[in-house]
């Protein structure tokens, strides 16, 4: 039995379903940005990494990518602390460019509120947001989302970029955590 299995209550979104939706999002983004020559994808680390890697392969418009590491949950925490901080800033210029943020999940919305405020202050030509997962029931602040992979219920999920105590980000599916197995 693989080590992750004891933490897995159920597979919420299997790998083929994820991949099909990511491809669809890539096609939609390619169409929407067809006339844009200066698209910059900004991946929010660490959770967004798997989604970014798959999504970028389906975006036919030439684009750059950069990485912004932020955190608010802390190791092992299931609720956001509400205090978001930048752990690693971008290397790319944002001013005057078309920015698409790529994120794994929007929960309270506090992380993205912070990220969007930081990026807006750098005066991009446009700023849009793409998230693989959206948990509307947990929202504390309003966030305009342009592309959503899946709306999900309020379940503690892991895999495909999302961690369980920093591990299992590599799983190719989204699973629901078996809370009985957490200490």
* Residue 71 makes contact with ligand PRP by CB under 6 A: yes
107 belongs to the catalytic site = yes
Query: Which residue, among 100, 108, 140, 141, has the nearest Cα to 124 in the 3D structure?
Result: 100
**One of 66, 107, 117, 165 is an active-site residue; which one?**
107
Q: Which stretch binds ligand PRP (CB under 6 A): 9-17, 50-58, 108-116, 149-157?
A: 108-116
- Indicate the residue among 21 and 38 with the shorter CB distance to ligand PRP: 21
Mutual angle of helices 15-32 and 49-56, in 10-degree steps: 60
R_g over Cα of the chain: 16
Query: Which residue, among 53, 48, 15, 38, has the nearest Cα to 169 in the 3D structure?
Result: 48
Window 160 to 179, contacts with ligand PRP (CB under 6 A): 163
| Phi and psi torsions of 12, nearest 5° | -85, -45
Residues near ligand PRP (CB under 6 A), total: 19
* Residue 106 makes contact with ligand PRP by CB under 6 A: yes
Query: Which residues are near ligand PRP by CB under 6 A?
Result: 44-47, 71-73, 80, 103-112, 163
- Provide the annotated active-site residues: 107
């Amino acid at each position: 039995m693989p080590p992750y299995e004891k933490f897995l209550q159920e597979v919420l979104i299997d790998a083929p379903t994820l991949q099909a939706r990511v491809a669809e999002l890539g096609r939609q983004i390619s169409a929407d940005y067809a006339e844009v020559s200066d698209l910059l994808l900004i991946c929010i680390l660490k959770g967004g990494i798997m989604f970014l890697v798959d999504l970028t392969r389906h975006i036919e418009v030439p684009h750059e990518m950069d990485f912004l590491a932020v955190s608010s949950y802390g190791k092992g925490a299931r609720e956001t602390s509400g205090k978001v901080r930048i752990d690693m800033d971008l290397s790319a210029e944002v001013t005057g460019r078309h920015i698409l943020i790529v994120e794994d999940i929007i929960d309270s919305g506090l992380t993205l509120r912070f990220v969007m405020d930081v990026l807006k202050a750098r005066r991009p030509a446009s700023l849009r947001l793409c998230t693989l997962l959206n948990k509307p029931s947990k929202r504390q602040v309003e966030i305009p989302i342009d592309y959503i992979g899946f709306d999900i219920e309020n379940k503690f999920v892991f895999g495909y970029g999302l961690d369980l105590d920093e591990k299992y980000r590599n799983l190719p599916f989204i699973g629901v955590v078996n809370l009985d197995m957490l200490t």
